[in-house]
Structures are given as structure tokens and as C-alpha cells.
């Protein structure tokens, strides 16, 4: 069973469509007869081919927003479409900063509920059904929308597999933004903080460090190890909050969701907030001094030991092989 | 500097250290003692610092509950907030993010001369992460969300907004709503004096009717969604656990070889 039309929020950085968008497009094709994308920004032509190849027949694009933060203008433009009867049956967003801003404002504008943090989506009786993990991912709650009007759904990254549809480039159509929705909050400068090497949410190996490292300087071991394994360095929320590493490194509920072949947790106790972001990894190695640490409950190989002793030897062993 | 009046939305939640459970109607069991959501302590601290920097002004807490609980609010008052508005009504049970935002918006409407509304990015229990955006839309305010650093000068608020790749510097004019991340500031511990003073700080307790809200707009009815299933998620099995005897690194190397990662 499907719904008639789904619109997917397209996100892109420097002309490259983000992975979450491709994941959503793949899922949307299962759920809807027609899949279209919408995009806040000037360079829709640059991403139309990729969006089309993943199943979007059209991309509704706002054009240049003059640096306005996306929430207000994109929500206003979408609400106008809904008011004109030209909207979809469901709006699909990634649980990302811009996704939450637009979806939240849209929900208030058109007075429709939204469901956030979903990991599975379905259609039953012509309505969208969404599944959200609660209690640190130990329980799944499945919810369906009631009442008239479009469904608004936000899905967590890495919930669905991206897949090409073989479609041609999406047709770019104008998504009109009301003039009073521009300029309220403006982006004046962008900073990219990602480390060099593979991206955290795409790497086959992720090596993460936590409070057990003791001090910020010791994070260097995590970076060295990640490099030796051709992986990406990650972090627990504790050391991001403490300012040791930037937020872009954070794995967990409030950070990135990762599902690498190997996830190595070093000096991370495994708070539910962290587990939610990494327990989908294929293989998990954990090193922690506390043998009762919850991280061992999900680890395929658990080392009860001191990261300051284990990591230097591991680094030396790997260096001697290369 | 002109006075700075800040509203902080705060949520009282079941202690996350205790195992959570659902009620018969699938709402979160909130019957035990409720505490201040740690995620909100950052907004409270930020507000206190901004008012101190301005030299004058007030920090007002706004909170929503179904059962009249105030213990979490007292914790935030003990940190130094001046007063609180608590919307307490049985009909609030089952409210979704939009319903909650509608109640918060009406309650904030009772506070005069608001320059800034501070919210957490998401609560620790429900973690929908959209109330800040919904609330700013309902209040007709500009918003700067996911702030990891906040500065106020010349009637403008400048934040470092977390993005997937790093952060953006974002500027908007007051009055505005800002949602802050954990770690934006280091929340203070309440002093003994603060805890004692909090007992006598004003908590304006109001009902939905006081706010002119109809019960059908909030709670289960207002949420316009139905929970159709609650199921345990498949658990991940733990594997081998060994105590390091000085050779654990060899074990890791062998495991990585087995997985053909090296």
C-alpha cells in the first residue's frame, strides 16, 4: 500500500547531495506513488541529476535565500503550497538541524503533528506509520497519523539504505518564498570542522574516544589509530561537551549515527545516548577500565583494561605492519 | 546596557538513571519524582549569565506538566532564576511536541517584555527536537537553533550553530528564540543559599483555561496520532570479554585480521 505523493527534504553541501537525502528518497519510493524533492538554496540545478537518479521526478527549489537560515523561508514556502492544495500527502525530513527547523515551523504553520527520530516507515490504511526507538533503543513505538492534512515525518540517518532508481534528472520547479520570510536570521559565515580522511558517518572503521582518555591531549591516540585503520575518529558526548573535540566528531543520539564494519570504543562507558548512535555497527570492540561498563553489553570483543596501556601497544603493532 | 529579560523553557522529567516505563495508554510513566532535565540546565545557566552581563533583567522559567510537580523547577530556581510560570493541567497528559509548544507559547504570553527565549535543543526523555522551532513559529519570533556559543550585543544575538559538518555563525535581532546544546556553558551547582531562597520564589501556577486554551488542542486529542504498537527492539548480544594482561592489543589485531580490516 502506498500514499499518493511524498516530498523529501533535499540537503546538500557544496553541490553534493547528503547521504540522508538519498536514504529518504529510497524509502519514499516504497511508500509513495510519486516522489518529489524540495530544496532551500540557489544551486538546485547542480543536484537535480543526483536527486533524479535516486527517484525524485521534480525538485521544488526556492532559489537564492540571501543567507537566510532555512527554517523560516522553506517552511513558509511549503505551507503556502499546502494552503493552495498543491502539497503532498507526506513531508519527509532527516533528523538534522535544518530538517528539524523546517519541519517544526511547518508543523506549527499548518497545524499538523510531526513524528521525529523514526527508524522505520510504512503505510497502513492509506496513512503513514512511523516507528521511533525509546528508552535508549530498547523499545520501539509505532505511531500513525490521524486527522486530515499532510503527515510530517523526520527519520534518523542510517535508517534506510540509499539506492538508485535509474531515473533521469529531476525537473527543477520554483518553490515561491513569501518576501517577509527572508532575512530574519542570517548565516554570516560557515565553518567546516570535519577531520580529513573518510567521513565519520561513511567510514568502514570508526575509532571513538571518551572521558576515559583522561585529558584532551590523549585524543591524539584516537586520531592516530583511526588513520592507521583508514577510518574516522569519533567521540562521546562527554568529551565534545568538555570541548576536547568539535561536535562534528560526536557519535550518539544528539550526534551522528554510524554503522561501520568496525566500531572501536576507547574509554567510553556506553551511556544510552551513545549506544543509540553506534549499536547498529557490524562489529564492536570496546576498551574500558570498568568491567561493569554498559558498553560491554553490546561489544563483540570487550577488553577490560586501561586505554593508556592498550592503545599505545595497538598503535605500535599496527605501525610495525605497515 | 538595557535590561535583559530571558524566558527559559524547562522540562521536569523522570530521573533518566531509573528504568523508564510506559503507562497503559503508552504515555511515559511520570508518576515518580520528576527532576530538572539536565538538557535544560544549560539554558538556565546561559540566561543567568546573559542577565548578569546586561546588569539588570529577570530570568523566568516556563514549564508544562500534567501533575503539578515543582521539584525540578525548584532546582532551576535554586540555580538563580527569579520566578516561574507552571502550566499544570490533567488534560496535558499525552501532548505531543506541537501541543506542548502551544501551551508554552500561551504561557510565555503571560511574561512581559521578553527579549530572549531559551530552549534546549531536545529534551532527554522524548527527544523530538522540534519544540524550539514550533514555539518560535507560534510566537512569531526569529530563531537561531542548535547554538553552541551565544553572544548578545546591540540588540542582536549571534550564535555558533552546530551543523552536520561543523558550525555556522548565525545572526538575528532581538526579541528572538535560541535553542542551546549541552555544553554551551557549564551549569552551576545550586548553593545552599540558593536552595533556601528557591523555596520562596514565586511560581505562577496556571491551568489551560487560565491561558485560554481548549483542552481539545492538547493532550491525546490534540496530538492527532495513535500509537499502534509498542515492541521490544531486538537486543544485541555481547561477545567475548577479556581482562587485559598486557597482550590485549594482540587480541584486537587478530580480530581486525579476522574481519579483513587489516
What CATH number has the domain bearing residue A95?
A: 3.40.50.620
Structure confidence by residue, pLDDT tens digits, B79-110: 999 999 999 999 998 899 999 999 999 999 99
The model's confidence at residue B221, banded by pLDDT at 50, 70 and 90, is confident
The model's confidence at residue B235, banded by pLDDT at 50, 70 and 90, is confident
Distance CA B45, CA B59 (A): 10
Q: For residue B144, is it within any domain?
A: yes
Q: Does B127 touch chain A (CB under 8 A)?
A: yes
Strand partners, A233: A207
Q: Does B130 touch chain A (CB under 8 A)?
A: yes
Check pLDDT > 90 for residue B257: yes
Average pLDDT in the A309-319 region? 97
CB distance A143–B233 less than 8 Å? no
* Number of separate domains in chain B: 1
Check pLDDT > 80 for residue B54: yes
State how far residue A209 is from chain B, nearest Cα, in angstroms.
16
Please tell me whether residues A222 and A311 are part of one structural domain: yes
Average pLDDT in the B169-179 region? 98
CB distance B169–A188 less than 8 Å? yes
* Number of separate domains in chain A: 2
What pLDDT does A14 receive?
Answer: 86
Q: For residue B259, is it within any domain?
A: no
Q: For residue A196, is it within any domain?
A: no
Please tell me whether residues A97 and A237 are part of one structural domain: no
Please tell me whether residues A52 and A132 are part of one structural domain: yes
What pLDDT does B44 receive?
Answer: 98
Q: For residue A187, is it within any domain?
A: no
Q: For residue A95, is it within any domain?
A: yes
Structure confidence by residue, pLDDT tens digits, B113-132: 999 999 999 998 888 999 99
DSSP SS3 for B56? coil
Which domain CATH number covers A286?
3.40.50.1220
The model's confidence at residue A75, banded by pLDDT at 50, 70 and 90, is very high
Cα-Cα end-to-end distance for chain B = 61
Enclosing domain of residue B92: 6-223
Q: For residue A94, is it within any domain?
A: yes
Please tell me whether residues A224 and A161 are part of one structural domain: no
- From chain A, the residues in CB contact with B185 under 8 A are none
Cα A184 to Cα A68, A69, A163, B140, B248: the distances in Å are 7, 8, 37, 11, 56
Please tell me whether residues A228 and A300 are part of one structural domain: yes
Structure confidence by residue, pLDDT tens digits, A136-187: 788 899 999 988 999 999 999 999 999 999 999 999 999 999 999 999 999 9
Q: What is the ipTM of this complex?
A: 0.94
Please tell me whether residues A228 and A268 are part of one structural domain: yes
Determine which of B26, B96, B129, B214 to mutate to test the interface with A (most A C-beta atoms within 10 Å).
Answer: B129
What pLDDT does A285 receive?
Answer: 98
Choice among A44-53, A71-80, A125-134, B171-180 with the minimum mean pLDDT: A125-134
- From chain B, the residues in CB contact with A204 under 8 A are 261
What pLDDT does A245 receive?
Answer: 95
Q: Which of B20, B130, B261 sits opposite A116 (nearest CB)?
A: B130
Give kind and range of the element (H or E) at residue B45. helix B38-54
Average pLDDT in the B216-228 region? 88
What pLDDT does B133 receive?
Answer: 98
Distance CA B217, CA B211 (A): 12
Q: For residue B256, is it within any domain?
A: no
- Alpha-carbon dihedral sign for residues B35, B40, B46, B47: negative
Cα B74 to Cα B52, B107, B114: the distances in Å are 20, 18, 22
**Is A113 in contact with A127 (CB distance < 8 Å)?**
no
Cα A246 to Cα A158, A171, A235: the distances in Å are 21, 38, 9
Phi-psi region of A101 (alpha: psi -120 to 50; beta: other; left: phi over 0): alpha
Check pLDDT > 80 for residue A274: yes
Please tell me whether residues A267 and A317 are part of one structural domain: yes
What pLDDT does B31 receive?
Answer: 77
Q: Does B174 touch chain A (CB under 8 A)?
A: no
Average pLDDT in the B171-178 region? 98
CB distance B230–A108 less than 8 Å? no
Average pLDDT in the B157-186 region? 95
What pLDDT does A52 receive?
Answer: 98
Please tell me whether residues A48 and A143 are part of one structural domain: yes
State chain B's mean pLDDT as an integer.
Answer: 93
What pLDDT does A50 receive?
Answer: 98
Interfacial A residues in 218-237 facing B (CB < 8 Å) = 229, 237
Q: For residue A166, is it within any domain?
A: yes
**Is A138 in contact with B232 (CB distance < 8 Å)?**
yes
Which domain CATH number covers B33?
3.40.50.620
Please tell me whether residues A278 and A161 are part of one structural domain: no
CB distance A139–B146 less than 8 Å? no
Check pLDDT > 80 for residue B147: yes
CB distance A302–B242 less than 8 Å? yes
Domain-terminating residue out of A146, A166, A181: A181
Residue A54 CA, chain-centre distance (Å), reads 18
Structure confidence by residue, pLDDT tens digits, A200-231: 999 999 999 999 999 999 999 999 999 999 99
Please tell me whether residues A115 and A48 are part of one structural domain: yes
Determine which of B21, B131, B133, B173 to mutate to test the interface with A (most A C-beta atoms within 10 Å).
Answer: B133
State how far residue A194 is from chain B, nearest Cα, in angstroms.
6
Distance CA B221, CA A31 (A): 27
Q: For residue A80, is it within any domain?
A: yes
Interfacial B residues in 21-50 facing A (CB < 8 Å) = 22, 26
Check pLDDT > 80 for residue B229: yes
Q: Does A319 touch chain B (CB under 8 A)?
A: no
Q: For residue A221, is it within any domain?
A: yes
Q: Which of B164, B171, B236 sits opposite A96 (nearest CB)?
A: B164
Enclosing domain of residue A242: 205-321
State chain A's mean pLDDT as an integer.
Answer: 95
Q: For residue B262, is it within any domain?
A: no
Q: For residue B23, is it within any domain?
A: yes
Q: For residue B209, is it within any domain?
A: yes
Check pLDDT > 80 for residue B63: yes
Average pLDDT in the B6-29 region? 86
Domain-terminating residue out of A181, A213, A247: A181
Q: For residue B62, is it within any domain?
A: yes
Average pLDDT in the A263-284 region? 94
Please tell me whether residues A212 and A73 are part of one structural domain: no
What pLDDT does A137 receive?
Answer: 80
CB distance A114–B97 less than 8 Å? yes
The model's confidence at residue A94, banded by pLDDT at 50, 70 and 90, is very high
What pLDDT does A129 receive?
Answer: 95
Q: For residue A250, is it within any domain?
A: yes
State how far residue B21 is from chain A, nearest Cα, in angstroms.
8
Q: For residue B251, is it within any domain?
A: no
Amino acid at each position: 500500500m502506498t500514499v499518493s505523493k511524498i516530498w523529501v527534504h533535499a540537503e546538500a553541501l557544496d553541490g553534493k547531495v547528503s547521504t540522508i537525502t538519498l536514504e529518504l528518497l529510497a524509502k519514499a519510493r516504497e511508500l509513495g506513488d510519486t516522489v518529489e524533492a524540495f530544496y532551500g538554496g540557489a544551486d538546485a540545478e547542480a543536484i537535480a541529476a543526483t536527486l533524479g537518479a535516486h527517484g525524485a521526478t521534480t525538485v521544488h527549489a526556492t532559489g537564492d535565500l540571501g543567507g537566510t537560515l532555512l527554517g523560516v523561508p522553506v517552511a513558509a514556502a511549503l505551507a503556502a503550497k499546502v494552503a493552495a492544495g498543491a502539497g503532498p500527502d507526506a513531508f519527509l525530513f532527516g533528523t538534522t538541524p535544518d530538517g528539524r527547523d523546517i519541519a517544526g515551523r511547518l508543523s506549527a504553520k499548518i497545524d499538523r503533528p510531526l513524528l521525529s527520530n523514526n527508524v522505520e516507515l510504512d503505510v497502513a490504511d492509506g496513512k503513514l506509520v512511523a516507528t521511533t526507538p525509546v528508552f535508549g533503543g530498547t523499545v520501539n513505538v509505532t505511531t500513525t497519523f490521524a486527522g486530515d492534512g499532510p503527515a510530517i515525518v523526520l527519520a534518523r540517518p542510517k535508517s534506510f539504505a540509499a539506492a538508485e532508481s535509474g531515473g533521469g534528472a529531476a525537473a527543477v520547479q520554483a518553490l515561491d518564498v513569501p518576501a517577509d520570510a527572508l532575512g530574519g536570521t542570517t548565516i554570516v559565515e560557515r565553518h567546516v570542522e570535519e577531520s580529513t580522511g573518510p567521513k565519520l558517518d561513511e567510514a568502514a572503521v570508526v575509532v571513538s574516544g571518551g572521558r576515559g582518555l583522561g585529558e584532551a591531549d590523549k585524543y591524539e591516540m584516537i586520531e592516530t589509530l583511526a588513520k592507521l585503520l583508514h577510518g574516522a575518529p569519533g567521540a562521546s558526548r562527554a568529551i565534545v561537551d568538555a570541548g576536547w573535540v568539535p561536535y562534528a566528531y560526536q557519535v550518539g543520539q544528539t550526534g551522528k549515527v554510524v554503522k561501520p564494519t568496525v566500531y572501536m570504543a576507547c574509554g567510553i562507558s556506553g551511556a544510552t545516548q551513545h549506544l543509540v548512535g553506534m549499536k547498529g555497527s557490524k562489529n564492536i570492540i570496546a576498551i574500558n577500565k570498568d568491567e561493569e561498563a554498559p558498553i560491554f553489553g553490546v561489544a563483540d570483543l570487550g577488553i577490560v583494561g586501561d586505554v593508556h596501556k592498550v592503545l599505545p601497544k595497538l598503535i605500535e603493532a599496527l605501525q610495525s605492519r605497515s | 546596557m538595557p535590561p535583559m529579560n530571558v524566558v527559559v523553557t524547562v522540562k521536569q522529567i523522570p530521573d533518566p538513571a531509573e528504568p523508564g516505563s510506559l503507562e497503559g495508554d503508552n504515555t511515559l510513566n511520570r508518576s515518580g519524582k520528576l527532576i530538572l532535565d539536565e538538557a535544560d540546565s544549560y539554558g538556565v545557566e546561559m540566561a543567568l549569565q546573559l542577565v548578569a552581563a546586561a546588569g539588570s533583567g529577570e530570568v523566568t522559567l516556563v514549564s508544562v506538566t500534567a501533575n503539578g510537580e515543582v521539584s525540578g523547577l525548584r532546582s532551576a530556581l535554586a540555580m538563580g532564576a527569579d520566578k516561574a510560570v507552571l502550566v499544570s493541567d490533567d488534560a496535558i497528559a499525552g501532548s505531543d511536541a506541537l501541543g506542548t509548544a502551544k501551551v508554552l507559547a500561551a504561557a510565555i504570553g503571560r511574561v512581559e517584555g521578553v527579549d530572549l527565549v531559551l530552549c534546549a535543543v531536545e529534551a532527554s526523555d522524548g527527544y523530538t527536537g522540534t519544540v524550539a522551532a514550533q514555539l518560535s513559529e507560534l510566537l512569531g519570533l526569529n530563531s537561531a537553533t542548535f547554538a553552541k556559543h551565544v553572544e548578545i550585543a546591540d540588540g542582536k544575538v549571534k550564535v555558533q550553530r552546530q551543523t552536520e559538518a561543523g558550525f555556522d555563525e548565525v545572526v538575528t535581532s532581538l526579541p528572538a528564540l535560541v535553542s542551546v546544546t549541552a555544553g554551551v556553558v557549564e551549569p552551576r551547582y545550586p548553593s545552599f543559599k540558593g536552595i533556601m531562597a528557591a523555596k520562596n520564589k514565586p511560581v505562577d501556577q496556571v491551568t489551560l483555561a487560565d491561558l485560554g486554551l481548549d483542552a481539545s488542542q492538547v493532550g491525546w486529542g490534540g496530538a492527532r496520532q495513535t500509537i499502534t504498537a509498542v515492541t521490544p527492539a531486538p537486543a544485541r548480544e555481547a561477545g567475548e570479554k577479556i581482562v587485559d594482561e598486557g597482550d590485549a592489543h594482540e587480541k584486537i589485531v587478530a580480530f581486525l585480521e579476522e574481519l579483513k580490516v587489516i
